[in-house]
Amino acid sequence: MKNGSLSQNGNKKPEDTRKSIGRRGEEFAAMFLQEKGFRLIDQNWRCLFGEIDLIVQRGEEVRFIEVKSRRSRTYGLPQESVTRTKLRHLARSIEWWISRHPHPPTHYQVDVVALLWENGTWNIEWIEGVL
């Protein structure tokens, strides 16, 4: 075992996993958007077509947020992983959410919050209106 990087069962510590960086990124993105005046409606909403990371609202406007987090630039910037296929699945998930919501929004859009963990801090890029 090197520097305590593995647990007793040989798995990486939870804070080292991709899932963990993604979860922390979503938490940071939610706080970032709340500081911008949005109220969190839902997080990690799932349906047959996929998942919506964050659903936030400010006034009458609803935003569906795709959050992408990375620990390095090795495989490119986080936002580069938002593919056409991902956007298509996201659009179908949004349609599903709207069709089942008791008070569907009159105005909504899709944004990407891209987070890069560098030097102990999150670098954030908020890309509005991708759909």
**Contact of 63 with 111, CB cutoff 8 Å:** yes
Would you state the pLDDT for residue 119?
86
For 24-35, how does the pLDDT look when each residue is reduced to its tens digit (9 = 90+)? Answer: 999 999 999 999
**14 has pLDDT over 80:** no
Best CA proximity match to 24, nearest among 64, 59, 56, 71: 71
What is the pLDDT confidence band of residue 106, given thresholds at 50, 70 and 90? confident
Q: How far is CA 68 from CA 20, 35, 52, 53, in A?
A: 12, 19, 12, 9
Would you state the pLDDT for residue 6?
35
For 52-101, how does the pLDDT look when each residue is reduced to its tens digit (9 = 90+)? Answer: 999 999 999 999 999 999 988 888 899 999 999 999 999 999 999 999 98
Q: How are beta strands 61-70 and 107-118 bridged, if at all?
A: parallel
**2 has pLDDT over 80:** no
Q: Which residues pair with 70 in a beta bridge?
A: 116
Q: Which residues pair with 78 in a beta bridge?
A: none
| Candidate from 20-24, 36-40, 115-119 with smallest mean pLDDT | 20-24
Find all residues with CB under 8 Å of 89, minimum gap 6, and list them: 49, 50
Would you state the pLDDT for residue 9?
43
What are all long-range contacts of 4-13, with beta carbons under 8 Å and residues at least 24 apart?
Answer: none
